[in-house]
Structure 1
Amino acid sequence: MSLLLRKFSRSKWEFNLHKDVGEFSADSITGCTRTQSNTLSVWQTDDSNFDSESTKDVIAALATSMDAPATIDVIILDANELSGLGVEIEETLGNTVYTAINSRHRDLSHLNYASLGVVSRYIVEQLGNESSYKRITKSKLLEIVMSRVDQPNTFAKENLSDKWIQAIERIQMRC
């Protein structure tokens, strides 16, 4: 099973539940599936369980690319289903400080008007299955990242943004 994890804004997509793709909100498509070079960034995971180490690793990698810790929503997409719908998936190296996980980055590629509609419809369909998405609070995201800081084959705290370092140090001072 090849699964893909994507950060998304659940509140923008829920508005589209029970609507035809032609009636989807432009904000969810333009604001949440913002493409670059006709690609959409996703991360490969081995497990649909958001609490598995494999999934936490990709969440941590994704988080380290963020400027600061924040509450995020993530969704699991099935690569085989997307491929079956005609969406191309390419292996591309991620760009995070968690270099051991960067090889698990993928791009939904060669996207155009039609294929972006396919991806949008698929995201809305996944929202019909509560086990396909999860809100990760800021504190939980910090916990996931902190559990990997300075561990073998992960990343050093000093390689994170200043806001991440400050948030981690605030927590460490409390302990």
Structure 2
Amino acid sequence: MTYAVRKISRPKWEVKTELGPDSIQADAITSDLRTKGNSLSLWECRSLGSLGEIVLALAASMDQAEKIDIAWVEIDLLHENDFALKRTEGNTPIEDLRDKHIDVVDLDLHKLGKVATILANCIRRKGHFRRFRRSEVKEILRKALRENRFPVNKLGTRLREELNIS
């Protein structure tokens, strides 16, 4: 099965009792589902066993190592809900992962709300989320460097310092 993966802030997707049992916090939408050009950036993952690859794509372009929360939905679920997907080049220094990037395109308020509802259901009812601890993120980066997946100079100075490499 193929999944669409998005970096999130897990606490923003928790149910707030004062908002209602099926509510989605506005912060989850305005922060975690920020769009550009009416498109939402996602990463394609062919199996849950390769979620680390998505974390690598994300972490390699960060300024510093930090925990990464990700959530995923089945690509088929997006197709079933008539979302248009477009393959675009991902913004990551990991060249062999750039083609794993997709956008949900032609979004408006209604469609973005529908994406939020689908994602919330996947997180809350199916448990489709995972936190990669800071130490795991650092190890994913170190492993990719050992395997020569990308040159060390593609990492930011602070991230190189955190990984104890120059």
| Length-normalised TM-score, structure 2 | 0.90
- The equivalent position to 2:111 in structure 1, one of 115, 120, 134, is 115
Identity %: 28
1 CA distance for matches of 2:55 and 2:88?
A: 17
Match of 1:33 in 2: 33
Evaluate the alpha carbon distance shift between residue 84 and residue 16 of structure 1 in structure 2; reply closer, same or farther with a 3 A threshold. farther
Residue 138 (structure 2) aligned to one of 116, 136, 142: 142
Structure 1 stretches of at least 4 aligned residues deviating more than 2 Å after TM superposition: 15-20
Residue 82 (structure 1) shift: 1.0
Aligned to 2:161: 166
Equivalent-residue separation in structure 1 for 2:24 and 2:136 (angstroms):
31
1:71 and 2:67 matched: yes
Q: Which amino acid aligns with 2:95?
A: T
Contact 1:150 1:156 in 2 (8 A): no
Tell me how far apart the structure 2 counterparts of residues 46 and 19 of structure 1 sit (CA, whole Å): 32
C-alpha separation in 2, matches of 1:77 and 1:44 = 10
Paired residues, number: 162
> How far off its partner does 1:150 sit?
4.6
Unaligned runs of 5+ in 2: none
1:15 CA drift (Å) = 2.6
Instruction: Calculate the TM-score normalised by the size of structure 1.
Output: 0.86
Task: For 1:74 and 1:24, locate their aligned partners in 2 and report how far apart those are by CA, in whole Å.
Answer: 17
**Whole-angstrom distance in 2 between the partners of 1:114 and 1:168:** 43
